Chains A and B, each alone.
Chain A
Amino acid sequence: MIQNADVFGADALIFDLEDAVAAHEKDAARLLLAGFLAKARPQEVRVYVRINGLDTPLACTDLEAVVGDAVDGIVLPKAGLAEVMELSTILHNLEAQKGLEKKIAILPIVETAKSLVEVEEIAKLSRLDGILLGAEDLSADMEFERTKAGTEIEYPRARIAFACKAARIEAIDTPFTDTNDPDGLREDCLHSQSLGMNAKAAIHPNQIETIHAVFSPSPKRIEWALRIRAAARKAGEQNLGVFSLDGKMVDKPIIDRAEKILRAAERFGLLPEERA
C-alpha cells in the first residue's frame, strides 16, 4: 500500500507507525517504512511520519529509524507543550548526529484537553508547520460524544484555527471518519473552513478530491501567486534568485508556494482565463 501512496494527489502523506500498526508489528513496520523512505520516497509531495507517543519506549526508536532527508516532518500524537519541546530537542540532536542540513518539521496532534489549552503556546514553537486536530481522541478525553454534525468540536476547531493563524501555520482539521459519505465530508469541510481551518486530513483516497475542492485557494491567493510568478520570471531574466515584491523578500520557498497555489488553482479551473 505504501508504494502507491503518492498516486492519489494528496498534498502531503502521513505514514503511520502509531495507531495503524498493531503492537506486535511495530518492529516490522518501522523497518519497512525506513526502507521505503530510503529507496522509494514519493516525489512531489511532503512526507510525514506519525511516530508513537513520547510516553512510550517506541518513540525514540521510531525517530532513529526515520529521521533523515526523506522525511519533511514528524506527526506527534498526544502533543502537549512539553512533548513538542522535547521532540524539538530530540530532532535537533538527531539532525546533528546524522549530518542533516534540513530542519525537520513537527506536526502536533491536539487530541487532549491539556493540549488544547496549551495550543497558543504550542503554535509559537519553531519547527511547526501546522497543527492537526485529533477529534476522536479529544472526544474520548473530554468524555463527550463524537457526532457528524461536529458541534462538540466547534470550540477546539476555532481555537486551533486562531492559534495557527496567529502563528502563520496551517490549521489542519480532523479526518471525517465516514468514508462512504461524500456529502457529509463536504459539509464537514465547509464547516471547518468557516471556523478558520485551512486544510483537512484524509483517511481514504476517495476523500482527497472533495477536500481539495473546499480548501482550494481563494481568488486573493491566486492573484498573489500570479504576481509572484511574474516577478520571479522577471528576476530570473536578470539572474536574481532573491528579489523584493511589495517590500517583502521573495526567495525560492515563497516562489515554490506560489507555484503550488497556481497548480492547485489550475487543477480546479480557478485560474483567470487570460492567465491559464
Chain B
Amino acid sequence: MKPGIAGTLESNDAVFTVRPASTRHVVISSVVDAFYHDQIAQVIETTLNELGIDGLDVLCEDKGALDYTLRARLIAAIRRMEA
C-alpha cells in the first residue's frame, strides 16, 4: 500500500505522511514543538482512536496548525493511503 500524504508546509498547516504498520508509531516535527508537542500528539492519538486504527506509521510536519487542521490533514492522508 502506498503512503498517504496530505497538507502543505505553509504557515498554520501541516503535512501528514502515513504508512500501514502493525503498531502506532508517531513522529512529530513542529515549529512550535516546545509548546505544543503533547497537544499535537493528543490530537493524533484521539483521531486514530476515533477511526479505530491501531497500527499506523505517522509523520507529522507541523507549521503551527490548529487542532482542526491537524485532524483534517491526518484523516485526508489516511483516506488517501487506503484509496
Q: Residues of A with Cβ closer than 8 Å to B?
A: 3, 27-28, 31-32, 34-36, 38-40
Q: Residues of B with Cβ closer than 8 Å to A?
A: 6-7, 12, 66-69, 71-73, 75-76, 79-80
Question: Known contacts A3-B66, A38-B68, A39-B68; is A27 also within 8 Å of B12 by CB?
Answer: no
Interchain CB contact under 8 A, B66 and A40: yes
Please tell me which one of the listed residues B66, B72, B73, B79 contacts residue A34 in the complex, with CB atoms under 8 A apart.
Answer: B72
Please tell me which one of the listed residues A27, A28, A35 contacts residue B68 in the complex, with CB atoms under 8 A apart.
Answer: A35
The CA of A136 and the CA of B73, in the complex, are separated in Å by 32
Give the residues in chain A near B6, CB-CB below 8 Å: 28
Please tell me which one of the listed residues B72, B79, B80 contacts residue A32 in the complex, with CB atoms under 8 A apart.
Answer: B72
Give the residues in chain B near A40, CB-CB below 8 Å: 66, 68
Give the residues in chain B near A38, CB-CB below 8 Å: 68
- The dominant DSSP class at the A interface is helix
Give the residues in chain B near A36, CB-CB below 8 Å: 68-69, 72
Give A37's nearest chain B residue, CB to CB.
B68
- Known contacts A31-B76, A32-B69; 16 further A-B pairs (Cβ under 8 A): A27-B79, A27-B80, A28-B7, A28-B72, A28-B76, A31-B73, A32-B68, A32-B73, A32-B76, A34-B72, A35-B68, A35-B69, A35-B72, A36-B69, A38-B68, A40-B68
Give the residues in chain B near A31, CB-CB below 8 Å: 72-73, 75-76
Whole-angstrom distance between the Cβ of A120 and the nearest chain B Cβ: 41
The CA of A32 and the CA of B16, in the complex, are separated in Å by 13
Whole-angstrom distance between the Cβ of A211 and the nearest chain B Cβ: 27
Whole-angstrom distance between the Cβ of B53 and the nearest chain A Cβ: 16
Selected A-B contacts with CB under 8 Å, 5 pairs: A31-B76, A32-B68, A32-B72, A35-B68, A38-B68
Interchain CB contact under 8 A, B73 and A3: no
Give the residues in chain B near A28, CB-CB below 8 Å: 6-7, 72-73, 76
The CA of A32 and the CA of B66, in the complex, are separated in Å by 11
